[in-house]
Amino acid sequence: MIMQQYKIVFGGTIGAGKSAAIRALSDTPVISTEAVNTDTQAHQKLLTTVGIDYGELSLEDGTKIGLYGTPGQDRFDFMWSIVCKGAIGIVILIDHSRVDRLKDLEFYLNVFSDLGSNIVIGITHIDQEHEQKLKIYREWMQIHQKSFPLFAVDARKQDDVLLMIETLIAQLEVQQEVSV
């Protein structure tokens, strides 16, 4: 039985780096459910998550955080609500190199906003498509009256992913102080 005190979920587009982000942070070997990608129209990557990825992060005070990665394909959307149950936060990763990146952002924000309110957004693969960088996401959020922390990240870099986790934890602490 896997024991942890808290849970953070990684969701978002196929190929955005959810599994890589968990591998970058996990203090334990990651349990992965990757299989051969049969949806090459959605992404050209060889392997893709078809179940749940799991890793664990131990904070300095001994707190353990379970890191759960969801599949990016919407045909697995039935799993998202199950995985998000009890999560203290959700990291949504969007692949900037995708043509429909703003539609992806809208889709995943709509779905995951219904599953939790403590959300951060990481934009990956920004090095592959230099056009507009984060500006288009900020403008989209302003137009749609959304307000979420937004980061350009390399999901393979521990410091980039840790910054998003620290932001989720800080937001949670602020929410708890406000409710007291």
Q: Which domains does the chain have, with CATH numbers?
A: 6-179 (3.40.50.300)
Q: What integer pLDDT is reported at residue 2 of this predicted model?
A: 47
Per-block average pLDDT, block size 10, for the chain (180 residues)?
Answer: 75 92 95 62 54 88 92 77 94 94 96 95 84 87 96 96 95 80
Taking the model in full, what pTM does it have?
Answer: 0.86
Q: What integer pLDDT is reported at residue 48 of this predicted model?
A: 53
Q: What integer pLDDT is reported at residue 77 of this predicted model?
A: 78
3-state SS track over the chain: CCCCCEEEEEEECCCCCHHHHHHHHCCCCCECCEEECCCCCCCCCCEEECCCEEEEEECCCCCEEEEEECCCCHHHHHHHHHHHCCCCEEEEEEECCCCCHHHHHHHHHHHHHCCCCCEEEEEECCCCCCCCCCHHHHHHHHHCCCCCCEEECCCCCHHHHHHHHHHHHHHHHHHHHHHC
Q: What integer pLDDT is reported at residue 85 of this predicted model?
A: 95
